[in-house]
Amino acid sequence: MANTVKIQPTADHIVVEAVSEEKTTSGIIIPDTASKEKPQKGKVIAVGPGRMSEENKRIPMEVKEGDIVLFTKYAPSEVKVDGKDLLVLNESDILAILK
């Protein structure tokens, strides 16, 4: 998957595009304007190289571009790049990868 947004995170940072549209169990789509809560689910669009260990070795990231992830509610920093609203967070703020 090609990164269309010009941003490269450092260390263990991850850039996520929020997935704000939700669907009920009956299939009704709820637009993001109907929800006042911040999205806690997003698609990974860029991943840093990983953090360095105390032994000065790179620790590889567990997530990759294209993964759909759940993250902690107040962790992300909101940024705007190339007209897109994006979230930047640490790998430790990722709670799960949806399969």
DSSP per-residue string spanning 12-51: TEEEEEE---EE-TTS-EE-GGG--SPP-EEEEEEE---P
Enumerate the β-bridge partners of residue 77: 88
pLDDT value at residue 75: 84
Q: Which domains does the chain have, with CATH numbers?
A: 13-19+38-98 (2.30.33.40)
pLDDT value at residue 32: 55
Percent of the chain with pLDDT over 90: 63
pTM: 0.77
Burial class (CB in 10 A: 0-12, 13-18, 19+), 68: middle
pLDDT at residue 21 above 90? no
pLDDT value at residue 15: 96
Provide the mean pLDDT of the chain.
85
